[in-house]
A and B are shown apart, each in its own frame.
Chain A
Amino acid sequence: MADPMRIRAAERDGVVNVKILMSHEMETGQRKDGSGKIVPAHFISKVTATHQGRTVLSAQWGPAVAKNPFLEFNFKGGKKGDRIAITWEDNKGETRTDETTIN
């Protein structure tokens, strides 16, 4: 299983700032390895962020998102101590969910 994400969620004046760093190769499918064979595409294709079970952001990605993807967004309505969960799924069907507490 892939390494855990690093998630930071901080509330200020009713707005929660969320920063996520995921661990993923994000292989484009364009690159060739040492023997000249194309390295198959392997990338996160879908990301969902939920706050107390409600989706606050969803994203669809292609392989152009950089290796070890970074994502930042802000939403209203969260407070300190609430839980944030982030789930990604990649094009090979692998998936990972991580959670953190807003502080």
Chain B
Amino acid sequence: MNHSRRAVLKTGGGAGVLGLLFAAGIARPGEVFAQGAGLNAFAMKSVPEALRALGAQGPAVSAAIQIKAPEIAENGAVVPIGIESNLPGTESITLLIEKNPQPLAASFSIPAGTEPSVSTRVKIGESSDVYALVKADGKFYMAKKEIKITLGGCGG
């Protein structure tokens, strides 16, 4: 399928300049959340703190957000999670794992034309509620799902 691998190898080297910008501190993680309380939401140690840092206090619970994940995950190091929003005007999808040391796991910006649905795999330290936070038309909505973990994915 991948005829472009050669071209990819050639273009890969050009990305070093961006890396330098990052190393110099010109751009850093968390910048998207500047509209919140100006804190790095990824560093927060609890879901309420992370929501505050995201500028998303008191999101409304919505049945239009679906979390697709196993009820029981045997291996917490690799838990597949998909989040789908059926809310019109979905701008971002954020995943929080309550019992992880830093609950905020990932945040996705959804530009117009991109379907409000993403899938990834995450580490979950112990059985935990997982939250999907969706920003749609400037408002925050949330859904929750409990995932039981047989073998932890963090530490050890």
Contact = CB atoms under 8 A, between A and B. Distances in A.
B66 to A, nearest CB: 15
B85 to A, nearest CB: 12
Contacts, number: 150
Contacts of B113: 56, 75-77
Given A4-B8, A70-B119, A72-B118, A95 B106 contact: no
Interface string A72-88: 11111100000000010
A93 B22 contact: yes
A70 B3 contact: no
Interface in B50-86: 77-80, 82
B122 A65 contact: yes
Q: How large is the interface on B (under 10, 10 to 19, 20 to 34, 35 or more residues)?
A: 35 or more
A56 B105 contact: no
The dominant DSSP class at the A interface is strand
B89 interface: no
Q: How large is the interface on A (under 10, 10 to 19, 20 to 34, 35 or more residues)?
A: 35 or more
Interface of B: 1-5, 7-9, 11-16, 18-20, 22-23, 29-30, 32-33, 42, 77-80, 82, 97, 100-102, 104-111, 113-115, 117-124, 153-156
Interface of A: 1, 4, 6-8, 15, 26, 28, 30-31, 45-46, 54-67, 69-77, 87, 89, 91-101, 103
